[in-house]
Amino acid sequence: MEHLKKAQENLSKGVPLDTDLVEEVERAKKELMEVLKSANLEIVGVTKRKVATPPPELKEKVSNLNKEIYREIGKVINQDGLSSKIEELKDGIERGLSPKHKKKIGSRAKEKDSCCFG
């Protein structure tokens, strides 16, 4: 069990598994399968997980970048006064806007974009 704990720690740090340990685990797996078969237990299937687990440092960096991205998006929305328009659209969608009203809101958003980009 100690070998498994150490291997798990190394994997979480991005260190590859020791080949001797992999061979030892494979032997143990085969022995366990034989024991189960001799006990009249059917083995339905054995698969390897192929999910790569990123190191904790990478997870933290990605999380921090996502927070920064959402902060910047929030700043832009608030700075340009778009938050009230977004809420108005959300409310309209829930109530079911008339086509005329949807077009009116859309044209106001386009006017806002055109003044900002030239």
Task: Tell me which residue of 15, 16, 7, 13 sits closest to 57, measured CA to CA.
Answer: 13
CB 105 within 8 A of CB 85: yes
Band the pLDDT of 62: cuts 50, 70, 90. Answer: very high
Q: Return the domain boundaries, the chain.
A: 15-43, 56-114
What separation in angstroms does the CA of 74 have from each of 49, 61, 80? 38, 20, 10
Question: In terms of pLDDT, which residue wins out, 106 or 54?
Answer: 54
Q: What is the pLDDT of residues 2-59, one digit of tens each?
A: 777 777 787 777 777 778 877 888 888 888 888 888 888 887 777 776 767 778 888 8
**Count of CB atoms situated within 10 Å of the CB of 85:** 15
